[in-house]
Amino acid sequence: MSFKIGTRGSPLALAQAHMTAAALKQAHGWRDGDIEIIIIHTTGDKVQDRALAEIGGKALWTKELDAALMDGRIDIGVHSMKDVETLLKDGIVLAAMLPRADVRERLIGASSIASLPQGARVGTSSPRRAAQLKAKRPDIQTEILRGNVATRLAKVESGAIDATLLAAAGLDRLGQSVGSLIELDEMLPASAQGAVGITARDGDAETLARIAAINHHPTFDCVMLERGFLAALGGTCHSPVAALAVLEGEGVTFRAQILAEDGSEVQEGGFNAALHEAPERVRDLAAELLGRAGPSLRALFTA
């Protein structure tokens, strides 16, 4: 048997594929030879000089992996969940998630957002991060910065930019203990940040059963609520959104923000609810925030 795991070729993507392989070996008693990791080159990896939203959005990370799934070259695809489109391609299902890692950001180049120099140039390809920074520091200049973690760190090191923000989870998975942690009260993360997701073919019962054995249900439940919030908003890659669900006992605490691209308006809210009530509460919160938003902010989601 050779169970084929599809992944992008970046160091972080490969680390996450190996995490998935290790979980499958532990769950099923498989050996190294039972699993094959197959690198799929994606458009998102090839085009590095423009924002994702300008060249096709999150599908640039997933469409080649989806195609490999559908034609049988791989059995599963492994993804950073925040890169997975809210609506999956027909025939593809989100089958499992690994335990979520740290959801916070790390600021590289300064000890805090407040300590960034006046007019600092901060590199990021995330509309959410850019909007959150500008909401706190309107003087900050944001520039498009894409590429793998090493590329982004090198830009700060060389002085090409003053600072950047990276997900703590990705840095931790690469063994990089750099930068300063930004607490959640200061910067709420992207929906699904810190989670690794596994996609499979709909109806592939054997594969789905194998993957079910490594699904971390608390992570899955929280991330699906956050993705439900995005779906209820109707946003795109252009739309700055933050959302975080945290299980507490039998219930869930949910917090979310929508922001104008320049940070000039921020609408936020949240709730505590029983888990079975949360999907409806998520939809209500999306409607509430859109209802409060000014015309230009609302247009980012309802156009």
The string of DSSP letters for 126-189 reads -HHHHHHHHHH-TTPEEE---S-HHHHHHHHHHTSSSEEEEEHHHHHHTT---SEEEPTTT-PP
Class of residue 253 by CB neighbours under 10 A (exposed 0-12, middle 13-18, buried 19+): middle
End-to-end CA distance of the chain: 49
Cβ neighbours of residue 12 closer than 8 Å, sequence gap 6 or more: 80, 148, 149, 170, 173, 174
For residue 95, what is the enclosing H or E element? strand 92-97
Q: Which residues are catalytic?
A: 83
Question: Strands 266-274 and 251-259, how do they pair?
Answer: antiparallel
User: For residues 48 and 52, what is the distance between their CA atoms, to the nearest angstrom?
Assistant: 9
Angle between helices 217-233 and 278-292 (to 10 degrees): 30
Q: How far apart are CA 95 and CA 84, in angstroms?
A: 13
The whole-angstrom separation of Cα 150 and Cα 170 is 11
Residue 215 φ/ψ, nearest 5 degrees: -75, 130
